[in-house]
Structure 1
Amino acid sequence: MSFDKLRLDGVTRRFAGRPGLVDLTLTIERGEFIALLGPSGCGKSTALNCLAGLLPLSVGSIWADDTRLDTLPPERRGFGMVFQNYALFPHMSVRRNIAFGLQMRRLPRAEVRRRTDEAITLVQLEEHAAKLPGQLSGGQQQRVAIARAVVLEPALVLMDEPLSNLDAKLRLEMRTELRRLHQSLGLTTVYVTHDQEEALSLADRLVVLRDGRVQQIGTPEQLHTRPANRHVADFMGYRNLLPLTVTEKVGDRVVLARGDLRLIGTAVAPVDLGDEVTVGIRPEDLRLVDADAIPATVEVVEYQGREVAVEARTADGVRLHLRTPDRPAPGHKIHVAADPDRVLAFPTDDGAGG
């Protein structure tokens, strides 16, 4: 079932009266790659299962252009699905598993073979094409499931953490291949993950969920540089989340302080003098300077290739996390500073995800 726009209007799903997903409203353009992102239990897999038709909606509707989908069974929606449980046919070889959907559509034999061969090559399983699923590793089985979904070239592909069982090297390779496949086949993809790096690298837009509620929808750059609230910031890698007080205001710039810790930052939402705020800073946005900045003592240093990850502590006991090409040693006294554009002040009572 092809479409120009896929629309979710107020999609809500309750479990025994408790909300699993609340009022998800989203329009997906044909060809978009959408990532549903959030911690375990945030509602992202519930949203995917509602789209797939595996869970009925409690409230709301789903539309493909002017066709209502949430009243249709899963098989009539025509979506490709890749879930964490691989759901492969145990008695069929890799090749037969991948070809099954094409054969059910009664495509010409030559077309089935060509598309099956291409899918097997895509997921790097040429040497395993004749094996049964039980003879494969978990990662190899997941690759078969990915190939089986995309070989049909469906209007929408739904993926629930499809790379979770792959080793780090193959995960990076498959991430690139998934994006390439999405672009070359003109697929529309909805992808569930808890990995913010994976979501940033793959998606055109991200939907961040918490406790079943949407926290923010935006491009990777928007969420990376301007998270809407402290919960999104926390999930998007703002490891430094510091409780500070607004002591001065100049436009959207604010001076933030606690003890010997003083920063100039940018208010994400309106704040007043004296307000308690949560200040978010990425580790890579803190830098070492000679003086006239935040004094701290290095406690832990972790080697990470070209950079080291440093955990330091101020005299008042505030922990700071930074990444730097320098090599401070535990016990060293350092001074830390940050660009005001990279220091984000969030109202502590922003009420996100209530």
Structure 2
Amino acid sequence: MTKAEPAVAPAARRPGSQLDELQLRGVSRAYGAHTALQPLELTVRGGEFVALLGPSGCGKTTALNCLAGLLPLTSGEILLDGKRIDTLPPEKRGFGMVFQNYALFPHLTVRANIAFGLKMRGVSRSETARRVEDVLRLVHLTEQAHKHPGRLSGGQQQRVAIARAIVMEPPLVLMDEPLSNLDAALRLEMRSEIRRIHQEFGLTTLYVTHDQEEALSLADRLVVLREGRVSQIGTPAELYEHPADAHVAAFMGYRNLLPLRVVSADADGALAEGRGIRLRGTPVGELDPHAGQSVTVAVRPEDLRIAEEGEEGVAEAVAEIVEYHGRVQHVEAVTRDGHRLHLKTGRHVRPGDPLSVAVDPERALFFPDLGQPAEEVTP
């Protein structure tokens, strides 16, 4: 997991590639009566990697397009080092863009694709050649420089797209779901590459994704959006350990979202039950649980475990689906009342096995009721 403060090697910084501060002040975007992005307040520091995270339609790409100048703002303003830029056209903002589909020129070589923007800006041949060779080395494509995009792998094409963006030495690089078209193994490899390039080139990056694992591994800070509104902003550790609400918890891997009713509450926590489940847990934030109150209880699969012999479980269930994940098995079990539970275990479990499951109270987080069945809440 990345640290809260960006680890940028000063020696790797390029002249003009950094900004001091980018501010989004009340930035919003509406389409008629529909508001796709509620007023967004966000400050990005130079050298920082910030990820916008959320499901389709949450407003994250709208925010990115507003920042890029591809969409006009309905209200608010954008300031780059104290100067307002939201009134400028996209080409005057000087940002680097990396899209899902790479948008490479198929008839140009890798070297020519990377050099294209510099030529359009009238940069001298010698300076263009120097910058292109530097970036080719950085993205490990020197030996592929003479090839056309059609002869490259998906990961190599993505590196060309990144190289083309950063060769302009932009104050900010915007990435919109850049790994969504790659297979799982290549996505993992490219995550490391993107973070390495970000650090070595001293970039400031704003990254859009719906993949919480991707966001956690890359970003210094996360901005979780839902229905156009910010749910929470914080470091990966803050959001992972202390989600602000049940929807953030869902994106941070709390796959078990249990709609229960509070039985009792005291200074040590609360007891809730429903649908064959009875457990103690920890209220989150300003929640002050009381008997009869509906709550959503969030538990990670790795925290829900098979009860030890003699230990009282929180639910009795039957294993229905068992997936082999190397040293652990991912088990989907069903309670007698039809509620599905997800847990991970190092024990050998087979479909049809009866299970007694348990969770430590500090690992079961109590949130206000979502107002919908847990099965409908998906990242």
Same-fold call, TM > 0.5? Answer: yes
What corresponds to 1:341 in structure 2?
Answer: 362
What corresponds to 1:315 in structure 2?
Answer: 336
Say whether the 8 Å CA contact 1:139–1:165 is kept in structure 2. no
What corresponds to 2:40 in structure 1?
Answer: 24
Say whether the 8 Å CA contact 1:123–1:174 is kept in structure 2. no
2:289 pairs with one of 261, 271, 285 = 271
What corresponds to 1:306 in structure 2?
Answer: 327
Are 1:181 and 2:192 counterparts? no
What corresponds to 1:208 in structure 2?
Answer: 224
Are 1:292 and 2:308 counterparts? no
What corresponds to 1:45 in structure 2?
Answer: 61
What is the rounded CA distance, in whole Å, between the counterparts of 1:91 and 1:79 in structure 2? 25
Are 1:163 and 2:179 counterparts? yes
Secondary structure of the structure 2 residue equivalent to 1:341: helix
Secondary structure of the structure 1 residue equivalent to 2:318: strand
Say whether the 8 Å CA contact 1:142–1:165 is kept in structure 2. no
Deviation at 1:108, TM superposition (A): 5.2
Aligned length: 352
Range moving further from structure 2, 99-108 or 289-298? 99-108
What corresponds to 1:328 in structure 2?
Answer: 349
State the Cα deviation string for residues 30-85 of structure 1 (Å, max 9, x = none).
11110000111111111000000111001111111320010111111111111123
State the Cα deviation string for residues 259-316 of structure 1 (Å, max 9, x = none).
5421111111232221011111110111112231132221211101111100112222
Secondary structure of the structure 2 residue equivalent to 1:283: coil
Q: Give the letter for the 2:322 counterpart.
A: V
Deviation at 1:233, TM superposition (A): 1.5
Range moving further from structure 2, 82-91 or 183-192? 82-91
Q: Give the letter for the 2:312 counterpart.
A: D
Q: How does 1:237-252 map to 2 (within 5 A)?
A: 237-251=253-267
User: Per the alignment, do residues 18 and 165 of structure 1 end up closer, same or farther by CA in structure 2, a change over 3 Å counting?
Assistant: same
Secondary structure of the structure 2 residue equivalent to 1:285: coil
What corresponds to 2:5 in structure 1?
Answer: none
What is the rounded CA distance, in whole Å, between the counterparts of 1:14 and 1:259 in structure 2? 41
User: Per the alignment, do residues 329 and 188 of structure 1 end up closer, same or farther by CA in structure 2, a change over 3 Å counting?
Assistant: same
Are 1:130 and 2:151 counterparts? no
Say whether the 8 Å CA contact 2:101–2:181 is kept in structure 1. no
What corresponds to 2:299 in structure 1?
Answer: 281
Deviation at 1:107, TM superposition (A): 4.6
What corresponds to 1:261 in structure 2?
Answer: 277
Gaps of 5+ in 2: 1-15
| % identical aligned pairs | 61
Range moving further from structure 2, 36-45 or 309-318? 309-318
Say whether the 8 Å CA contact 2:37–2:229 is kept in structure 1. yes
Q: Give the letter for the 1:340 counterpart.
A: P
What is the rounded CA distance, in whole Å, between the counterparts of 1:251 and 1:139 in structure 2? 53
Say whether the 8 Å CA contact 1:82–1:149 is kept in structure 2. yes
What is the rounded CA distance, in whole Å, between the counterparts of 1:148 and 1:22 in structure 2? 32
Are 1:146 and 2:162 counterparts? yes
Q: Give the letter for the 1:243 counterpart.
A: P
Deviation at 1:104, TM superposition (A): 4.0
Secondary structure of the structure 2 residue equivalent to 1:24: strand
Q: Give the letter for the 1:42 counterpart.
A: C
What is the rounded CA distance, in whole Å, between the counterparts of 1:260 and 1:211 in structure 2? 32
Q: Give the letter for the 2:71 counterpart.
A: L
TM value normalised by structure 2: 0.87
Secondary structure of the structure 1 residue equivalent to 2:23: strand
Q: RMSD of the alignment, in Å?
A: 2.2
Gaps of 5+ in 1: none
Q: Which runs of 4+ in 1 moved over 6 A?
A: none
Secondary structure of the structure 2 residue equivalent to 1:284: coil
Deviation at 1:109, TM superposition (A): 4.1
Deviation at 1:177, TM superposition (A): 1.6
Q: How does 1:213-228 map to 2 (within 5 A)?
A: 213-228=229-244
Deviation at 1:115, TM superposition (A): 3.3
Range moving further from structure 2, 239-248 or 257-266? 257-266
Deviation at 1:113, TM superposition (A): 3.1
Say whether the 8 Å CA contact 1:205–1:218 is kept in structure 2. yes
What is the rounded CA distance, in whole Å, between the counterparts of 1:16 and 1:260 in structure 2? 46
Deviation at 1:236, TM superposition (A): 2.0
